[in-house]
Chains A and B, each alone.
Chain A
């Protein structure tokens, strides 16, 4: 009796996934009754709210990519550097202070980062590069980078610490310096875990919503210029749901189509990242 009750609790998580897939699939199916799949996936104009309507999702994907690439450029070197420092260099006391600080950074709500981008990063960018628009991809990319930095640092730190001490000692016995041990023994040994941290963090950046909704703008366009206003997939969904959209209308359906695309991309990356993590956990045990 209790056992089945607890089993039911465990099944709720499976039901949640099923619910997400079902809800997204049902409305997306409706959407594709009216819009060609190819013109959705490969169209270069996204104007679902204005006549003449056009439902090419590439501008939103491009905006997302612009933010994600910028965030990765910031978060990967910084995150990797801090994880090496935390696991290889830091004394226990220093670690005991730095690690919680990064955890606090990870716990700051995303809307706060959005505010920070808008009121602090954007004015800085504007002062440095006057062509910066009020809403721009770069500002959002910077805060999303700050946001995923703790995730990379903490997951990579775990990976480095899973490398057995004996391997390090072997390196030192051969006369290697700490840097050489870290980069030529520990890093290769933890490579899969480090890669998994990148994949999972980038997946998180793709799904990031509030910072990009506040700072990156609402102008879907195909551009590689990070100083321009763009729109990401998530920011579009927010924009539509802030307005009053009747169920079943075309605007309503686009939320689900874009949401489906977002879900599939992040799902693929999460599956990949978690798979790498699982495999790497077995290596040294």
Chain B
């Protein structure tokens, strides 16, 4: 236990480590700042209206992210359509219906492990299942289905937490008035937990926004000079375009990649900001 060394020395050691722990924390923040500054320095000069509204090109000066941006919008919209009902449904079942038992524990362990499965493994699943077996081809639909499975665990985990935060007295009050279980959930539990659920969904979708590996696996194209018109069309996405530009040796393409990263990070950070505001609001309005 605490050894009998003189107090002065123990205090010095304490101070020293206080400094070290602080330094470790600041290192993380500093790295984030360096990363952001570096990206901004390289990319800001290339970021203009022409960049946002042009198709990719062999010539850096006229290249842009129009198709990548629209591909990402398609991808995220379709992913939201699939993953929100699925994730929310699973969460409602596990929180409100399931009895504590082996099956529920099994599903829980399964979801925890899925959350840790590398995204590229989902890509392999998407390639074999959606692209080949269901013959959806390298379409934005196949990409969205793969992404939906990828973010399902995070959506379920976040929604369950939000549902769990609703106190039981609300449910009991509804039952006491003769409401059925579904009426209780639909008119009381869900509205009360909505901000929390939305926060979770936004954060999950923002994960899908930045994922690259699964899209490469299912064969999202790296050079696309058209916009998807239906879910069955080929597509590219922002992270893919950034990857493509980063893997070229010329400095100009690095600059383009940095400009693409700025756009990606701005979208991501504004999604996070919405989530934080929602969380803040829910904490303010709902005091049980």
Binding site for B on A (CB under 8 A): 2-3, 5-14, 16-17, 19-20, 23-24, 27, 77-82, 84-86, 88-90, 98, 100-105, 107-116, 118-120, 146, 149-150, 153, 171, 174-180, 183-184, 200, 203-204, 206-210, 213-214, 234, 237-238, 241-242, 247, 255-256, 259, 262-263, 266-267, 269-271, 273-274
Q: Are B182 and A2 touching (Cβ within 8 A)?
A: yes
- Secondary structure of the A contact surface, majority rule: helix
Interface of B is mostly: helix
Nearest B residue (CB) for A179: B14
Is residue B42 contacting chain A, with contact meaning CB distance below 8 A?
yes
Give the most central of B206, B207, B213, B264: most A CB within 10 Å. Answer: B213
- What residues on A are CB-neighbors of B29 within 8 Å? 98, 101-102, 105
Q: Is the CB of B2 within 8 A of A3?
A: no
Report if A9-B118 is in contact (Cβ < 8 Å); known contacts: A78-B24, A104-B269, A109-B212.
no
Give the shortest distance, in Å, between B42 (CB) and chain A (any CB): 7
Does chain A have a CB within 8 A of B261? Answer: yes
Which of chain A's residues have a CB closer than 8 A to the CB of B254?
115, 118-119
Determine whether the beta carbon of A111 is less than 8 Å from that of B22: no
A263 to B117, CA, bound (A): 7
Decide: A81 and B246 in contact? CB cutoff 8 A.
no
Q: How many residues of B contact A (CB 8 A)?
A: 89
B191 to chain A, nearest CB (A): 17
> With the chains together, A55 CA to B216 CA distance in Å?
23
CB distance from A144 to the nearest CB of B (A): 12
Compute how far the CA of A210 lies from the CA of B216 in the bound complex, rounded to whole angstroms. Answer: 10
| Complex contact B86–A9 (CB within 8 A) | yes
Q: Are A108 and B213 in contact (CB under 8 A)?
A: no
Given contacts A13-B152, A177-B10, A184-B2, A150 and B28 within 8 Å (CB-CB): yes
**Contact A119:B210 (CB < 8 A) given known A81-B23, A179-B14, A241-B217:** no
Whether the Cβ atoms of A111 and B119 lie closer than 8 Å is no
Write out the residue numbers on chain A whose beta carbons fall within 8 Å of the beta carbon of B113.
Answer: 17, 267, 270-271, 274
